[in-house]
């Protein structure tokens, strides 16, 4: 335990030494550092995103083309096609019901 205590004390001493050392900046230097501190994460983030886009393209191909050729991708497409057909059937039934109601409404208007 004594080792951890000494390590903690040395760490605190190092932090104090680093944080007590300061270089005074002129107003122009402060503005330059403000721009650097502001733009550094933006520039770094841009290049990280470009790198991840390249990795994604390598892993899954352009627009997921590599995934579409996998057996799981083909099975998923079949499932999607089936769901689309079922959804189209539902829409067709709704349209038929609407036409039926309109037809009945038009026939019932003269009968009243």
pTM for this entry: 0.41
For 54-109, how does the pLDDT look when each residue is reduced to its tens digit (9 = 90+)? 888 888 877 777 776 666 666 677 888 899 999 999 999 999 988 888 877 777 76
> In which residue are the tokens 């497409």 written?
77
Asked if 67 and 60 count as a contact pair (C-beta separation under 8 A), the reply is yes
Structure confidence at residue 18 (pLDDT): 80
- C-alpha span between 53 and 59 (Å, rounded): 10
For 22-53, how does the pLDDT look when each residue is reduced to its tens digit (9 = 90+)? 778 899 988 999 999 999 999 999 999 999 99
């Amino acid at each position: 335990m004594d080792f951890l205590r000494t390590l903690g004390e040395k760490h605190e001493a190092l932090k104090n030494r680093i944080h007590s050392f300061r270089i005074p900046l002129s107003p122009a230097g402060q503005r330059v550092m403000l721009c650097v501190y502001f733009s550094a994460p933006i520039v770094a983030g841009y290049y990280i995103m470009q790198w991840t886009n390249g990795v994604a393209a390598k892993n899954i191909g352009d627009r997921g083309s590599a995934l579409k050729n996998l057996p799981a991708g083909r099975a998923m497409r079949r499932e999607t096609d089936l769901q689309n057909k079922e959804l189209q059937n539902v829409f067709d039934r709704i349209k038929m019901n609407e036409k039926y109601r309109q037809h009945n409404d038009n026939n019932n208007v003269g009968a009243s």
